[in-house]
Amino acid sequence: MPDMPDPESSSESKGPSIPLTTTQAKKHALLDLVERAGCPKESVRKVSVELVHKFKWIAKAIGLFLDMTRIIIAYSEREDEPGSPRERQYYDQIVQLHPEMPEMPRLFKYASTQAEVAVTLANIIEFHMTESKNNDTNTLRYTIISYLPLNPKHDVVQPPISGDSKADRGFNHPATAAALTPLKYRSKFQRDQQAFMDMVNAGEVLITHKLWPSVMYPNNVQYDRNCISEELFQSHVIVRAMRAIFHGKSSAFDGKRSGSKASQAEMHGMERPTPASVAYVALHVVFALSNIENWARADDSSFDYYKFYVRVKEMFQDPEDDWTTETLDFLASEMPVLRAKKGGKRKRRDEDELLNSEEDNESDDELRREM
């Protein structure tokens, strides 16, 4: 079992860069940066569109809460604040996302030479990372409830929960409350569900990021303080949400792809989940089940979503650890097999998808009192 991570030690940052004023301004700024970085003028638009998809992928597969300005200048010679090993690691991961696309490292190298350019590029990247997060937040808002029953053909959530409002989620509904209750206290919740929910809503019971929610585990797992990582992140809800985000909503239940359009995993060659992608999915699952309407209000909760994300990610900090390997192997085995690209026709279709994609649209603590 891996050691418990210290979320505060992460180099990830919640602080955004100063934003450009409009989406159109960001688009033109990226076109300008790509051209100034040495891209042939006739390829600037296409390269810029492809880069936007890479920027969105950073949030899903590398890190969601990244200080992109510091990462871009991680290798710059700075006596005052030299780049940290973690920042350089992120830099390397990002520029190596697609080895066949030299424009990414070229753009980063160019931006790293001028502070103002680095801030501008970081602002653009962070904007598209947030856009990606918001798209997936919207997807799970309307699908997560259907993922809760183990056998959705026979079991349904009662009373029904609407996707239009999240007021009936969190600890306002037995189904979402059961999923969000820490595994450590699931038996207490099951003894008197309404009493437990009432105490959470009254602030008498604090639900924090320091205890893993029951929804992170398969339904039959019992709490064992000596084996809290056993089958962690292997629940059917995590599997379905991961399929929906990376392979398309149609694959969520049976793991089979039906559409002809390349999935996110296929577009980016993701054959195996990464620690960041597991953390990304886990974060979205917990948020979708909560009664918090949007991310702007997340800081009002006793549950720290940022620290939860970091904690999930750093559970995988040792790539050689047996638990890390077994967990990622399990999740990989539950995902649809990537379909191979066949010849030039598929390649051209993928380029058209990049130019016309609709996804670019925005769209363990104790309880405070003994139970």
Quote helix, strand, coil % in the chain, to nearest 5.
55, 0, 45
Res. 19 pLDDT band, cuts 50 70 90: low
pLDDT at residue 183 greater than cutoff 60: yes
pLDDT in tens, 54-103: 999 999 999 999 999 999 999 987 667 778 999 999 999 999 888 888 89
pLDDT in tens, 307-342: 999 999 999 999 999 999 999 999 999 999 987 765
Q: Which two tokens stand for residue 354?
A: 């990049």
pLDDT at residue 8 greater than cutoff 50: no
pLDDT at residue 163 greater than cutoff 90: no
pLDDT at residue 9 greater than cutoff 50: no
Mean pLDDT of 102-116: 92
pLDDT at residue 370 greater than cutoff 90: no
What is the structure's pLDDT at 355?
40
DSSP 232-247: TT-SHHHHHHHHHHHH
Mean pLDDT estimate for the chain:
87
pLDDT at residue 166 greater than cutoff 70: yes
Mean pLDDT of 97-110: 89
What is the structure's pLDDT at 346?
37
Planar angle of CA 64, 335, 243, nearest 5 degrees: 55
What is the structure's pLDDT at 368?
35
Q: Which two tokens stand for residue 221?
A: 């797992």
Mean pLDDT of 272-284: 97
Helices (H), the chain: 23-36, 44-61, 68-72, 85-95, 103-111, 115-147, 174-180, 186-191, 193-201, 236-247, 264-267, 275-289, 305-314, 322-333, 343-356
What is the structure's pLDDT at 17?
42
Can you tell me which residue has the tokens 């000596």? 226
Mean pLDDT of 154-176: 93
What is the structure's pLDDT at 81?
74
Question: What proportion of the chain, given as a percentage, has pLDDT over 90?
Answer: 73
What is the structure's pLDDT at 164?
86
What is the structure's pLDDT at 76?
84
If one compares 335 and 13, the residue with the highest pLDDT of the two is 335
pLDDT in tens, 340-358: 765 444 343 344 444 444 3
Question: What proportion of the chain, given as a percentage, has pLDDT over 70?
Answer: 85
Mean pLDDT of 292-303: 92
What is the structure's pLDDT at 61?
94
What is the structure's pLDDT at 153?
87
Report the alpha-carbon distance of residue 54 to residue 70 in Å, rounded: 18
Q: Is residue 187 classed as helix, strand or coil in its secondary structure?
A: helix
